[in-house]
Amino acid sequence: MSGLEGKVALVTGASKGIGAEIARELAARGAAVAVNYSGSKESAGKVVAGIKAGGGKAIAVQANLGDPDSIGPLVATVARELGPIDILVNNAGIYEFGPLGQVTPEHFHKQFNVNVLGLLLVTKEAVSHFSPRGGSVINISSVAADGVGGGAVYSATKGAVDSISAALAQELGPKKIRVNSLSPGMVETEGVHAAGFIGSDFQKETESRTPLGRIGQPRDIATAVALLASDDSTWITGQTIHAAGGARV
C-alpha cells in the first residue's frame, strides 16, 4: 500500500477505540495526524505520545462536534499547526438505543447534531483548508444504516452519513477530493466492553451471522481507512464499503 508521507490527517473522535487506532495507523504510514477529542484529554494525550514515541508527528485538538461554534477553531488549529489537510476521517459519533416508544426530540437531536450535522460542518470547514492537490474524506458509518431494531434514530444518522458521502463525492470531485463511507459491524472497543457486549449472547449471535466468524478489531477498520486515504484508491469515490467480515446488520 502507498505510504502517506507528507500528508496531513484530521481524525475526529480519536482519543480511543476505532478513532485512536485510525490515528495510529495513519501516523505509522507517515501522515501528520490531528487527534480530535471532546472530553478525554488524557486519552488523546496518550495517543499523541504513542505516535511521537514511534517517530511520528501528532497533535491533540479539543472540540465538541455537537457544538457548531467549536468546529471552525478545530480545523483552523489543525491547518495552522500541521499545514493544509489531505485526509479527513469523520469518526466522531454517539449512539443511544431504545424502542420507538422512547424516542424524544432530545434523543433525536443529540445524535443527529453530532453524527450528521457535526460531520457536515467539519467537512465544510476542512475542505476550505484542503491541499490544492485534493485528498480524501472517509466517513465512518455503520452496518446499522441498513436498520437495527431498537435503534431507529442511530440507524437514521448512519443512513444519512452514507447519503452525504454519495452527494459530496459528486460535489467535491472537481476539487480532486474523494468521499467514501466505511461501515464497520461490531468492533471490540472500550465502549463495547463497557456496554457488556463482549462475551454476551449478542456477541455470539453477531459472530454466528458473520461469514468470517468473529467480531472486528479496531485495526481491521484502521487499515481499511488507510487504504481509502492513500493514493492506491484514487479511483474510488462515492462508495459505501462494509468492513464487517461479511455481516450486514
Indicate which residues carry an active-site annotation. 154
Contact 111, 157 (CB under 8 A): yes
Three-state DSSP at 87 gives strand
> CA angle, corner 230, sides to 40 and 225, nearest 5?
40
Kindly report the backbone phi and psi dihedral angles of residue 117, in degrees, each rounded to the nearest multiple of 5, phi listed first.
Answer: -65, -45
Contact 22, 227 (CB under 8 A): no
Sign of CA dihedral 195, 199, 200, 202: positive
Closest CA to 51 of 18, 77, 28, 81: 28
Alpha-carbon Rg for the chain, nearest whole angstrom, is: 17
